[in-house]
Amino acid sequence: MNRSMTFVVLLAILVSVANLGLAHVGLTNIDPSWYDAHATFYGDMSGGETMQGACGYGDLFKEGYGLETAALSTALFNNGQTCGACFELMCVNSKWCKPNAGSIKITATNFCPPNYDEPVQYHWCNPPNKHFDLSMKMFTSMAEYKGGIVPVKFRRVVCHKRGGVRFEIKGNPYFIMVLVYNVGGAGDVNNVEIRGHKSNWIVMKRNWGQIWNTGVDLVGQRLSFVVRTSDGRSMTFFNVAPASWGFGQTFEAKLNF
């Protein structure tokens, strides 16, 4: 093989690696800066009350998120656009912080709504407060249960997920909805396109959280997707769902960010 051919092969390999979404390998955080917030918890140790929620996710155990989750205040939730993002938190400056507890990492899966009723000491999630309402398990990993609410430092980190990006198809032939989840890298999806093998690419609209929709009937067609995350990276997932796909089914891509 001559030098020019060797260069072409190496260039092709580099492009393939980039397309496989390996740019985040070795990275641990998206924003290295630490910010101030507070944290509470909801539900019990089983996490039953943390299921479902404003991001559109369902059974967080089946979907791979488990109890390492949080509901975000208005200032962080960003009308659902932050759903799927990952954060690192540590308890600070409180007698309720557990010694040498280190930090925890969570995925944003729900919304902590504002509360305008009295008393004001329960207005944790009101704008402009930055607040994380954690699962009990995650809260008690860094702070004492009886502390209730503690100050924390937080930062955005890279999401590390097992397996490929997953697409759950819902709705009906005239209103197809797709939940996009188990997204690595930045984690929070800000654009989705869908294509049937007989159609052109169609830009989907955010329905709520990480559920995206289109009014185009794509029943009976193989489905491909383009997913873009908040850091500007995008990946194309070809023929994720076969032509025989049905509503209520979930399909996993072979790749992830």
Judge whether residue 4 has pLDDT over 50: no
DSSP code at position 185: B
pLDDT tens-digit readout, 19-67:
444 444 445 678 899 999 999 999 999 888 898 899 999 999 999 999 9
Judge whether residue 225 has pLDDT over 90: yes
Task: Let me know the angle formed at the C-alpha of 95 by 89 and 96, rounded to the nearest 5 degrees.
Answer: 55
Q: What is the DSSP string of 84-143?
A: T-EEEEEE-S-TTBPTT---EEEEEEEE-----SSPGGG-TTSTT--EEEEEHHHHHHHB
* Alpha-carbon span 234 to 53, nearest angstrom: 26
Strand 104-111 with 35-42, pairing: unpaired
Q: Is the pTM of this model over 0.85?
A: yes
Judge whether residue 199 has pLDDT over 50: yes
Report, as an integer, the average pLDDT of 119-134.
Answer: 90
Strand partners, 211: 179, 208
